[in-house]
Chains A and B, each alone.
Chain A
Amino acid sequence: MIALKNITKTFRVAKRQAGFGRAVKALFSREYETVRALTDVSFTVSDGEMVGYIGPNGAGKSTTVKIMCGVLTPDSGACEIDGRVPWKNRIAHAREIGVVFGQRSQLWWDVPVTDSFALIRDIYKVDGKKYQKNLDELTELLDLSEILKTPARNLSLGQRMRCEIAASLLHAPKTLFLDEPTIGLDAVSKLAVRQFIKRLNAENGTTVLLTTHDMQDIEALTERMMLIGKGRILLDGSLAELKTRSPDPAASSEEIVAALYKEYGI
């Protein structure tokens, strides 16, 4: 279970102004600006639930994910994932979660994917039998058998993303965080990734929280979605609920969300 309560996070950002004179001045005395990345964010996700987390760029999605992974410490508020505080006991927490950062790779660039997988197995201390079972399962579900021997640098983005997801699941985590897993993928890969996430959630009961810009991800995958804007949770409910808010019944979910962004001024 994931439970966040009144999480607040601010960043101090140096103010930069245009012009040479100002730049010289900034060298000596810098003005800082406090940016509120998250304000009073609270939500709970039960075991085995799948939740979509959407919002425009810079809304605080990734910050929330980073807090839940233990990469960042919030200014105030409480966060517990299966009873663990992510930033207090980093190592114990890391063993139980899987994370995919869609924009970055965790595979070693120049070696075949299997070699990366084997190293990840040792990092997570997964025992041989369990690893083989997980790997076989993932290979089948994500259709990896053809690409396991290829170095990561030679994979297409879609192939690589499938490998990234597999890499995050080799230790069979109970909770999976996906930060923009479908970004930049073609239609076939997107469908494959979605189908896999759905199966993973249904069959293994893995709790999944995914951030995305793609409303179709949400439509295809999750019952529940949370909308975040300017660091606040604006909406937490089902897609159907969202649709009832729209005056135009024929509007696509994309249009509804765009209208919502406008309504909240984000």
Chain B
Amino acid sequence: MRLYLKYFAIHLKSQMQYKVSFFLTALSQFAVSFTAFLGVYFMFARFNAVDGFTYEQTLLCFSTMLMAFSLAEVFARGFDLFPQMLGSGEFDRALVRPRNIIFQVLAAKMDFTRLGRLLQAAAALCYAIPKSGVVWAWDKIFTLCAMVICGSIVFFSLFLIYAALSFFTVEGLEFMNVLTDGGREFGRYPFSIYGENILRFLTFVVPLALFQYYPLLYLLDRMQNKFFMFTPWVSLVLLIPGCAFFRFGLRRYKSTGS
């Protein structure tokens, strides 16, 4: 953990070197997700509710999703850029250093320009929390925190799987973006609006709904069952195949070298 902070400091120093670029990128990141926010806003300017969710409730959903995603992106950017790391031979360097590989990839890249997105998520969350009509008792606060934390770990696992895939193929990984960026975009609305089948897919295959839809129902008192409070923690099982797949890819890399 202390070593992670040291890496953190060196990345911060590096990115401070390019101030203008840093602020412009952060600003554009902010702008991009702001359009997503506008999308939700205009939608509700025409309709009062989507699938029974009001504007403020949807905003709560939108901002937790965005928060989870941007946290994962700030910290796990190394996995996002993993194909480049493999190509440039930077990964071989990681292999000759006496530290855990996943840790090293995690620490290899940190992207603070993504803070623009994080900031917006925080702002939207600050607006939605009092307006959503939720009575914030301890169990609700706990659930909301779990949604954000587990959500970012799920996105992290998806990044990990994406990285592991690049051990096998250099290009054609765009389809993973359907799950990560797509998950973020579609996650603006509660997943139930996309229909039964999509919801089932997002529950049992790629468990995005476990930290978005079900705990949201609990927050909004649509479900009283305490189980829904804990579904975000269930979604963490994705980390197991994620790590296993990465290790498998690594073994293959060591025997093929490309």
Task: Tell me whether chain A's interface is mostly helix, strand or loop, or mixed.
Answer: mixed
Shortest C-beta distance, B50 to chain A (Å), equals 42
| Contact B98 A106, beta carbon cutoff 8 Å | no
Q: Which B residues touch A72, using CB under 8 A?
A: 254-255, 257
Neighbour of B96 across the interface among A11, A94, A116, CB < 8 A = A94
**A115 vs B92: C-alpha distance in the bound complex, in angstroms?**
21
Give complex CA distance A174, B3 in Å.
Answer: 24
Q: Which residues of B contact A123 (CB under 8 A)?
A: 3, 97-99
Flag if A73 contacts B10 (CB, 8 Å). no
Question: How far in angstroms is the closest Cβ of chain A from B108?
Answer: 10
Q: Which residues of A contact B141 (CB under 8 A)?
A: none
CB under 8 Å from chain A, chain B span 52-103: 88-90, 92-93, 95-100
Q: Does A43 contact B (CB under 8 A)?
A: no
Contacts A87-B254, A123-B99, A124-B98 aside, 12 further interface pairs with beta carbons under 8 A come to A63-B257, A69-B95, A70-B95, A70-B96, A95-B98, A101-B93, A109-B14, A110-B17, A110-B18, A111-B13, A111-B17, A119-B10
Q: Is B6 an interface residue (CB 8 A)?
A: yes
Shortest Cβ gap from B77 to chain A (Å): 15
Q: Which residues of A contact B95 (CB under 8 A)?
A: 69-71, 90, 94
Binding site for B on A (CB under 8 A): 11-12, 63, 66, 69-73, 75, 87, 90-92, 94-95, 97, 99, 101, 103-104, 106, 108-111, 115-116, 118-119, 122-125, 151
Is B7 a contact of A119 with CB atoms below 8 Å? yes
Interface status of B256 (Cβ within 8 A of chain A): yes
Q: Which residues of the partner chain A approach B258 to less than 8 Å between Cβ atoms?
A: 11
Chain A residues with CB under 8 A of B100: 91
- Interchain residue pairs A-B with the least CB separation, the first 3: A110-B14, A94-B98, A95-B98
User: A122 CA to B3 CA in the complex, in Å?
Assistant: 7
Pair B98/A115 contact, Cβ less than 8 Å: no
Q: Which of B2, B6, B10, B96 contacts A71 (CB 8 A)?
A: B96
- Contact A94-B97, Cβ < 8 Å, known A11-B256, A110-B17: yes
- The answer on a CB contact under 8 Å between B92 and A71 is yes
User: Chain B 1-20, CB within 8 Å of chain A: the 1/0 string?
Assistant: 01100110010011101100
Sampled A-B contacts (27; CB under 8 Å)? A11-B258, A63-B257, A69-B95, A69-B96, A72-B254, A73-B251, A73-B254, A91-B98, A91-B100, A94-B97, A94-B98, A95-B98, A99-B96, A104-B89, A104-B90, A104-B92, A108-B10, A109-B14, A110-B15, A111-B14, A111-B17, A115-B10, A119-B6, A119-B7, A122-B3, A122-B6, A123-B97
CB-based contact A104/B93 at 8 Å = yes
Residue of B nearest to A93 (CB): B98
* A12 to B, closest residue via Cβ: B256
Separation of A75 and B256 alpha carbons in the complex (Å): 10
- Interface membership of chain B positions 242-256, coded 1 if the CB is closer than 8 angstroms to chain A and 0 otherwise: 000000000100111
Question: What separation, in Å, do the CA atoms of A95 and B98 have in the docked complex?
Answer: 5
Question: Given the complex, which residues of B lie within 8 Å of A108, measured CB to CB?
Answer: 10, 14
Closest to A95 in B: B98
A66→B90 contact, CB < 8 A: no
B93 engages A92 (CB within 8 Å): no
Contact B89 A101 (CB under 8 A): yes
The answer on a CB contact under 8 Å between B10 and A106 is no
A66 to B256 Cα, complex, angstroms: 12
Q: A257 vs B95: C-alpha distance in the bound complex, in angstroms?
A: 33
Which one, A71, A99, A109, contacts B254 given CB within 8 A?
Answer: A71
Q: Give the residues in chain B near A118, CB-CB below 8 Å.
A: 6
Docked Cα-Cα span, A63 to B3, in Å, equals 31
Bound Cα distance from A3 to B61, whole angstroms: 60
